[in-house]
Homo-oligomer: A and B are copies of this chain.
């Protein structure tokens, strides 16, 4: 039986193009995994410095092919020139940032407890550090065709840990995926590797085969709640459990206090509109719900948001299915009892999918759990509240990647609110908007379910921690120990006899 074709797609026009590949068969998948396993064995032979050089080489290769990659990503995502250029910068930036994290070596968590033969009973020499998990599966996301795709954060952090990767490409941008994969493979070859440390497969079935494959040691996924749950079920049926690092859905609530609205109604409204419509509302950190105080200042805030959203007009979604789902979800929410649609409905665009930036308004008394449901696209719900209503509404808040609060000048955080937000979200933001996720040491991109399926982060230095396991060596000769655990200067932070020592 021949496999379905993978065809080129122009998100800007809604037109299909040439056949680029075919969906990966079970037999082909097994071959891709076998190559990745061979690559993993090769990676185990590289020291940290060589692995960091591999990440740097990948960043350079993406830049060398940047013009072609950007053109394809623009065509396939309709996200526009500026956004795609900055996304490529972020993608190469995070490869290089993680190369630096690997060079620094604190992620190894290296520890040495030296022998104490005089103790009763005698204590043996014990040394511990992190090793790579093995070959891991990564599922590319639709909404970041570069930064959360083939060479995205999951791939970069798995490679940084020393793992080989098999990526399940996203069907929304196959040509971009192929171009990025070619650059990664070339960089690996130039670095002296025989087997490419990143393999790639296409198709839903191949994705399921991938997570079921006994060689796969972990899975990274960014996508929908439904898609993530389907993979989670497949993983649960495995003989040996593996971690599923899924980032599934997030409402990213924003609380605006009365003082904040009174002081900065227009600025906050404008910022809200930008956060709702950026990337056509297809950010995982899009603020889907804003708690806006009742009264005149809140009215002004929303008027500013509506005016900015109406000025944006119809936007182009990543693909037709996303556009159709958005339309259905926005209509369903807008048709609920006591829900008012504040934005105008722009005329639909001819012959291509389009989505309308939509701001809904509902009184706190009429708001149900539905206000926290994520809608992928430029839809926001403003819940109008008076002071005392906020707490009971927030008690219904599911796990979220982020939670934000806008305060008046010098206004303290309302009692209990700071703790509540930190209990429900991975990142708590003050006087800002959640879109824009810095790639650094302090980033937590995760949060209680359904924001994420584990307590890990998928962005930043700590993302490497998802792809390692620790091993201890007891009474081992130098020959058996990783260089970072041998006596003498190791060049990495280490804990020696309980004391953390910097190199």
A interface residues, Cβ below 8 angstroms from B: 44, 100, 104, 106, 109, 111-113, 121, 123-124, 126-128, 131, 133, 232, 236, 240-241, 243-244, 399, 412-413, 418-419, 422, 425-432, 436, 438, 440-444, 446, 448-450, 453-455, 457, 460-462, 468-477, 479-480, 493, 495, 498, 500, 502
Residues of B within 8 A of A453 (CB): 241
How far is it, in angstroms, between the C-alpha of A88 and the C-alpha of B450 when the chains are bound? Answer: 41
Contact status of A243 and B455, CB under 8 A, knowing A413-B479, A443-B128? yes
Residue pairs across A and B with Cβ atoms less than 8 A apart, 10 shown, are: A112-B442, A124-B438, A128-B460, A240-B449, A241-B449, A241-B454, A427-B472, A429-B475, A430-B475, A440-B498
Residue in B113, B427, B448, B477 whose beta carbon sits within 8 Å of that of A440 in the complex: B113
Find out whether the CB atom of B475 lies under 8 angstroms from the CB atom of A455: no
> Closest Cβ of chain B: how far from A452's Cβ, in Å?
9
Residue in B425, B428, B444 whose beta carbon sits within 8 Å of that of A480 in the complex: B428
Residue in B232, B413, B426, B438 whose beta carbon sits within 8 Å of that of A123 in the complex: B438
> Closest Cβ of chain B: how far from A124's Cβ, in Å?
6
Contact status of A431 and B475, CB under 8 A, knowing A126-B438, A500-B493? yes
Find out whether the CB atom of B422 lies under 8 angstroms from the CB atom of A477: no
Residues of B within 8 A of A121 (CB): 436
Find out whether the CB atom of A428 lies under 8 angstroms from the CB atom of B240: no
Residue in B133, B413, B428, B444 whose beta carbon sits within 8 Å of that of A455 in the complex: B133
Residue in B128, B438, B440, B442 whose beta carbon sits within 8 Å of that of A441 in the complex: B128
Smallest Cβ-Cβ distance to A97: which chain B residue: B498
Residues of B within 8 A of A240 (CB): 399, 448-450
Contact status of A428 and B471, CB under 8 A, knowing A113-B438, A440-B113, A441-B111? yes
Residues of B within 8 A of A412 (CB): 477, 479
Residues of B within 8 A of A429 (CB): 124, 473-476
How far is it, in angstroms, between the C-alpha of A44 and the C-alpha of B472 when the chains are bound? Answer: 33
